[in-house]
Amino acid sequence: MKLQSYWTDTVPRYAPQAGEWPTAVDVAVVGAGFTGLSAALALAARGAQVAVLEAGDRVAFEASGRNGGHVNNGLAHDYGELADKVGVEQARAWYGAYDAAVDTVERIVREEAIDCGFARNGKLKLATKPAHYDALARSAERLRSDGVDADIELLDRGRVREEEIASERFAGGLVYKRSAQMHMGRFANGLAAAVERHGGKIFLQSTVERIERSGSGKPSTLHTTRGPLRASQVLLANGAGRHGSYREFGWLRRRMVPVGSFILATAPLGRERAQSLIARRRTCTTVANIHHYFRLTDDDRLILGGRAHFGVSSPTSDARSAPILREGMLGIFPQLADVEIDYCWGGVVDMTRDRLPQAGERNGVWYSTGYSGHGTQMSVHMGQIMARLIAGEAVPNPWGGRPWPAIPGHFGPPWFLPLVGAYYRAKDRFS
């Protein structure tokens, strides 16, 4: 079993052709994940001089390359509960942003001819208890009555078992037909190649240590491990990552909690056996506070993830997650007891307090982050939005203009995660 991401292990390591270190650019993008690469692509296509600065030694090697491979529409929240809290108009707009985000990924894949197995097969949200099915039914009714999503379809236990999932575990499900999936490593390589094809530059092992902000209307200077770089505009697309100084990026880090999410990939099952498990090859997620998500790959593996434990990814915690995730897999598909696990890896999810992204400008520096476990599609979409804002367009920012207070007691490593995990396990047990 390899303790590395299936997505990054099954593609060649992308080698940027950046050339010499520049002295000045129009836009410096900090982070070569999906947000940064997408923004750089859009800016370079407009003719801007763009440099992407990545602290690590690979593109899209953090959250963008260490997720479950889902490109889903729909919110992390129950739509009805969110609409009651913030109003129908706002909840509808946020739901629509995720629809638009899946469209954005599909458009880029098509326009840049990226071979990444993009397939819009839909998502199936699965109820593990009758009460969860009742909640899905209420959500479906509210989505229809508010005119938010007419494409959803509610399935009872029998239809889930007969038409979708070869499992007795589920009390029903809700299909979101606009959702998709793809190979994250192949998409990342294609996106990086598109950046360079349009004239953007990507620099690896270029940690930003400090940003020296000049006066209004003047360029900033980014002090990096490769040397200084002057930029007229700066976009932070690095989340609450481990790289860079805490002093420089502490404002972001105090507003997000890095939560580990752990994922396994089985050995190839063969097309017939794989198809028998998930007949329509949808992305799937279960309804619970500590839930599972799973899908099939092009080479007919099952990929399944979840909060195996509340902590951050490391070789030790990734290895410890494998038997926990395997137990979860067999709880859904006991017929896979004979299947080997080829990969197990962890990634970091940047969770905000309200589990919604944040994007905007602070002290002359742009940022987009905090995708809270639903970032594959939204990071790509927000990269495009931020590029247009940086270029001076009056484009709506779906996540801007909201208060973003710091998380009380959060100044460094998230010491409170085990307590959070115990709380959510208790909620799941007694719900």
- The residue extents of the domains of the chain are 6-420
What is the model's pLDDT at position 414? 58
Q: Would the pLDDT of 106 be above 80?
A: yes
319: tokens are: 């290895």
Q: What percent of the chain clears pLDDT 90, i.e. is strictly above it?
A: 78
Handedness of CA 398, 49, 62, 123 (dihedral sign): positive
pLDDT band for position 215 (cuts 50, 70, 90): low
Mean pLDDT, rounded, for 272-291: 92
Given a cut of 50, whether residue 415 has pLDDT beyond it is no
* pLDDT of amino acid 160: 98
> Please, what is the average pLDDT of the chain?
91
Q: What are the C-alpha distances in Å from 204 to residues 31, 54, 187? A: 9, 5, 18
Indicate if the pLDDT at residue 201 is higher than 60.
Answer: yes
pLDDT digits (tens, 9 = 90+) for 156-197: 999 999 999 999 999 999 999 999 999 999 999 999 999 999
Query: Could you tell me the pLDDT band of residue 344, with boundaries at 50, 70 and 90?
Result: very high
pLDDT higher than 50, residue 423: no
What local confidence, expressed as pLDDT, does residue 254 receive?
Answer: 87
Single-letter amino acid code for the residue at 8: T
The CATH topology of domain 6-420 is FAD/NAD(P)-binding domain (3.50.50)
User: pLDDT tens digits, residue range 126-137?
Assistant: 999 999 999 999
For 25, phi then psi, to 5°, come to -140, 170
**Residue range 320-344: average pLDDT?**
96
Report whether 87 contacts 57 (CB < 8 A): no
Lowest mean pLDDT among 39-48, 91-100, 298-307, 420-429: 420-429
Determine contact, residues 224/53, Cβ cutoff 8 Å: yes
* Beta bridge pairs of residue 224: 208, 227
**Average pLDDT of 288-292?**
76
Joined together, the tokens standing for residue 411 give: 């100044």
pTM above 0.85, yes or no: yes
Nearest in space to 291 (alpha carbons), one of 418, 427, 415: 427
* Mean pLDDT, residues 382-387: 98
**Tokens 């990969």 -> residue:** 343
If you average pLDDT over residues 211-215, what whole number do you get? 82
